[in-house]
């Protein structure tokens, strides 16, 4: 893989041999989330209180932005990261300040779809953000993969997926998520970069043995959680909630997932 770096206005960018940005870090604030979509991938933190999540699976390391954020602000969490290209880890350590803490950050090399099939563990939170140099997801945006993700989640677990489309049309991806999670999946309106973040909950599993806990949370509760998260970490998700409130996902001021 051809890995390139660029820097502009104090921000270092990661590229996989093309102009597509695969990750970014503000050099003066290495643990902050620089890109809009990485901030929005932290929306699951608003849906659970306390020390959730404790077990996190991340597919796609990139510039390790999300990994570092959870490492710093969720110190009880153990993070398993599946990355198909070993060079990405080396670059993340050398240029993007990925912590060297194998007790909490377990890097595995391999295809995320294969890992999801072979793994026997369950996770509180699964984050999927895997693209090649041409911004293609391959098997990471298929119904079988999403079904495997559901099987790997705890009963109150959440799946969070970064969707990217040149046409900003995510309908087919969302349809696959909805089928895999029996309708308990939503996608936020896309942000300026063209990314859209999708969430899915095990609460929609049709299999009795995998019956989950449906999520029901009001907009006011989400705003309170966002204010607390901002105080705690500096991450401001209130603008995301404003966009979410304007969508069809908050009928009657309540998010059902």
Residues identified as active-site: 129
Distance CA 41, CA 129 (A): 9
Copy the structure tokens of residue 7.
């820097």
* Strand order from edge to edge, sheet including 123-128: 105-109, 78-83, 55-59, 123-128, 153-164, 195-201, 185-187
Distance CA 156, CA 205 (A): 11
Please check whether residue 24 is in contact with residue 33, taking contact to mean a CB–CB distance below 8 angstroms.
no
Distance CA 89, CA 64 (A): 8
Distance CA 91, CA 86 (A): 9
Distances (CA, A) of 248 to 189, 206, 221, 245, 251: 10, 24, 18, 8, 6
């Amino acid at each position: 893989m051809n890995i390139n770096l660029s820097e502009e206005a104090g921000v270092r960018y990661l590229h996989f041999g093309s102009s597509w940005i695969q990750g970014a870090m503000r050099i003066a604030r290495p643990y902050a989330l620089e890109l809009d979509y990485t901030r929005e991938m932290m929306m699951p933190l608003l849906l659970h209180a306390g020390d959730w999540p404790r077990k996190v699976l991340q597919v796609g390391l990139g510039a390790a932005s999300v990994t570092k954020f959870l490492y710093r602000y969720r110190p009880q969490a153990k993070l398993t990261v599946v990355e198909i290209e070993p060079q990405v880890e080396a670059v993340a350590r050398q240029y993007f300040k990925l912590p060297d803490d194998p007790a909490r950050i377990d890097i595995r090399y391999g295809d995320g779809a294969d890992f999801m099939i072979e793994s026997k563990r369950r996770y509180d939170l699964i984050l999927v953000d895997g693209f090649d140099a041409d911004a293609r997801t391959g098997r990471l945006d298929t119904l079988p993969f999403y079904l495997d993700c559901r099987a790997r989640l705890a009963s109150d677990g959440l799946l969070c997926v970064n969707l990217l489309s040149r046409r900003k049309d995510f309908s087919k991806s969302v349809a696959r998520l909805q089928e895999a999670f029996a309708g308990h999946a939503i996608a936020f309106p896309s942000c300026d970069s063209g990314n859209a973040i999708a969430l899915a909950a095990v609460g929609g599993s049709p299999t009795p043995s995998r019956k989950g806990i449906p999520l029901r949370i009001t907009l006011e509760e989400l705003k309170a959680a966002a204010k607390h998260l901002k105080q705690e970490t500096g991450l401001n998700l209130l603008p995301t909630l404003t966009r979410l409130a304007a969508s069809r996902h908050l009928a009657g001021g309540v998010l059902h997932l």
